[in-house]
Structure 1
Amino acid sequence: MPRRSYDQYCAVARALDAVGDRWTLLIVRELLGGSRRYTDLHADLPGVSTDMLASRLKDMERDGLVTRRRLAPPGASFVYELTPRGRALLPALTALADWGAPALAERRATDAVRAHWFAVPLIARLAGHFAAEDVGVVDIALDEGEFHVDLDVEAPGYAEGPAENPDVRLRMSTVTCTDIADGRLSLAQAIADGRVAVTVPGAADGEGQRKQTTAV
């Protein structure tokens, strides 16, 4: 079936032709964290039906946003990953996250949450905070899980789980992370207030733990 189009000679309309459907940008959010199997995507997109997810992935392949490849044995399963055009949507998602962050003031009882969903709005905040330091990879631990962000200027991104060799580890509550992501609280102030525990892996004893406190 041909995909619907706004049929407008406009850059915004053309962009929405490709990414304006429900779930598409959230799939991009997941794939910004690296290659994912279909089952992994479905698990981290609560509420999407299997038919809808399959349909969206086909549309995104057709539009050149994602590719599908088979892993080498013994895995031999298929994974989806973003193309360069798909990864180029990171600034758009960052802008949407900044715009939508104030709506996170109160978490609803029906709201699902994954730790790595905070990665996109945090990348720019962390890049600004660590701009004068030699920090490239930052681990972030929340009660819901752990993820890490890569602050590489040319190819910023994130991935689930701890990094193998992070430059800095941050531990905080989801409330604190939300405040930082929203811009209501700077990371510097959160550290000063004792709301973030900062660890520098590999530093000498007494220097590795910049701030040891209970994250709240």
Structure 2
Amino acid sequence: MPPRRRYDQYCSAARALDLVGDRWTLLIVRELLAGPRRYTDLHADLPGVSTDVLASRLKDMERDGLATRRRLPPPAAANVYELTPHGARLLPVLQALGEWGQAGLGERRPTDAVRAHWFALPLLRSLAGEGVVEVTLEEGTFHLRLGALDGPAYGDGPAPGEPDAHLAMDTATCTAVGRGELSVPDAVRARRITVTGDGPLARSLREE
């Protein structure tokens, strides 16, 4: 493989951008924070990326120790990509970047793609406690692992097993929560978020 382009600056920010500054790399990290993903799943959830660019970025991430590729055992028998512990430490970086970018999000444009699990990062900033929270929007369902110290911070689709709490809301409410315009307790009290579940986490969300 050709050598990566580098800034050649003795600065930690420049060193970080040597690894993640290329177009699409951080969005690939966003997808892999949800756990192991097949190449076809990554391509489907990164609308606009070409197959050549996605393959190139994944190879770079493997070479730089941000991601690994492994073969799932039968019956899946498919290759998946997943973050290394070093790559997973980019979670707070993406959360901070997303928080900084919320002000410029504005209204959704007709050409904007959207996936339900893209709302996971802003919701992680807005929810406290520990446990698995399943979230349902018009666009689909995803789940969060609050307080997780290892493994995926969130995942696409329903939670594996019984979640500690289930939140149902519309996309406008989820966006307002992510922007900091509306707190989760206020949204629950205003009946813009419906909380179901019998565990301590669900009860605390209803009682805050």
**Normalised by the size of structure 2, how large is the TM-score?**
0.92
Q: Distance in 2 between matches of 1:201 and 1:104?
A: 35
Unmatched 5+ stretches in structure 1 = 212-216
C-alpha contact 1:171 1:196 (8 A) present in aligned 2:
yes
Q: How does 1:1-216 map to 2 (within 5 A)?
A: 1-127=2-128, 131=129, 135-155=130-150, 157-163=153-159, 164-201=161-198
Query: What whole-Å deviation, never above 9, does each CA across 1:10-48 have from its counterpart, x for those lacking one?
Result: 000000000000000000000000000000000000000
Alignment RMSD: 1.8
CA-to-aligned-CA distance 1:149-194 (integer Å, 9 cap, x gap): 0012523700111112211100000110001011111001111111
How far is 1:103 from its partner?
2.0
Indicate how the Cα distance of structure 1 residues 151 and 202 shifts in structure 2: closer, same or farther if over 3 A, else same: closer
Check the 8 A contact 2:165/2:199 in 1, yes or no.
no
Contact (CA 8 Å) 1:141, 1:171: kept in 2 or not? yes
Query: In percent, how many aligned pairs have the same letter?
Result: 64
* 2:170 aligned partner, one-letter code: S
Tell me, what secondary structure is at the counterpart of 1:68?
Answer: strand
**CA distance, structure 1, for counterparts of residue 66 and residue 76 of structure 2:** 24
Gaps of 5+ in 2: none
Q: Secondary structure at the match of 2:127?
A: helix
Name the SS of the counterpart of 1:30 in structure 2. helix
Q: Distance in 2 between matches of 1:3 and 1:54?
A: 15
Structure 2 partner of 1:214: none
8 A Cα contact 1:104 1:178, kept in partner = no
Q: Secondary structure at the match of 2:9?
A: coil
User: Number of aligned pairs?
Assistant: 201
Q: How far apart are the structure 1 equivalents of 2:171 and 2:94?
A: 20
TM-score by length of 1: 0.88
